[in-house]
Amino acid sequence: MRDLIRSWRVNCPPWARQLGLAREHLAIAQRHSRVRAAWASHLETSQRLILEMAARCPSRERVLIIGAGDCLDVPVAGLAELFTRVTLADIAVGTEARRWAQQFPARVECVNWDASGALAALAKVRDQLSAADAPAFFTHANPGPPPGGEADLVVSANCISQLGLVPGHSLPAKAQDSTLPERGARAAARRHLEWLGARAGLRLLIADAARLDIGLDGKLMKRETLHERFGLPRPDRQWRWDLAPIPEWSDKFHRVHEVGAWIYGG
């Protein structure tokens, strides 16, 4: 019942809900509340880096955060001190982001925005779409101009891997082809990078660089590089995120991510 109420309080267009975006938003919030201490260092590092990038901006009219979510990794108060306008964009806007907008009404705004530009069209054909045709929706989608207008700093806050993956998992065609979510993820990520490349200001992309499984004895069991599949080079910065300590994901290993930061322009 509590989860149902939380879900209602997430502002998310019906077509994005249908594609699993509100559910994913809640899943992140729930995991954070279970493993808060494990995430703390990653969230602090992320917030510090965003403020470092903010300090580099010669003009501070607007900062745009894409995939702002609950703003766990976003230093909203610090950005509101530095920028005239802080735009928190996400397809699912929850109570945490809205609370920031209420606290700084003149400076902080929340916007429901689909960074992939594909979701409304995808939802319309969700039940008929073939697995072969789905990735093209992301490749040819147009997210349009940045919500609120061009920004001095654009931060893509750990959402790039989800843009095609989450809706991909919700498509009935996945039953015929299990590679569909990953193919969607690659297509959407490349389109997002192209869109970021067309922006003029300083851009900071925060994304998963690698996935590690670490055993109970602390030994590395498996390491999988993640960023190369999106055509990304080595990150400019890198740190660890204890994403799912035992038993969150498995009772045999801790799931750890290496998070990367890529800095463009400015």
Binding footprint of ligand SAM on the chain (CB under 6 A): 21, 25, 28, 67-74, 90-92, 113-116, 119, 157-159, 162-163, 166
Nearer to ligand SAM by Cβ, of 59 and 102: the residue is 102
R_g (Cα) of the chain, nearest Å: 18
Q: How far is the CB of 188 from ligand SAM (least distance, A)?
A: 8
In the bound complex, which residue of the shown chain has the CB atom lying closest to ligand SAM? Answer: 69
Nearer to ligand SAM by Cβ, of 146 and 201: the residue is 146
Nearer to ligand SAM by Cβ, of 30 and 59: the residue is 30
Closest CA to 259 of 28, 47, 27: 47
Q: How far is the CB of 219 from ligand SAM (least distance, A)?
A: 27
Torsion of CA 251, 207, 166, 230, to 10 degrees: -110
Q: How far is the CB of 215 from ligand SAM (least distance, A)?
A: 25
- And the tokens for 215? 């055993």
Nearer to ligand SAM by Cβ, of 73 and 152: the residue is 73
> Which residues does 183 contact at the CB level (< 8 Å), separation at least 6?
134, 135, 164, 168
For residue 111, what are the β-bridge partners?
A: 89
Distance, in Å, from the CA atom of 150 to the CA atom of 152, rounded to the nearest integer, reads 7
Q: How far is the CB of 166 from ligand SAM (least distance, A)?
A: 6
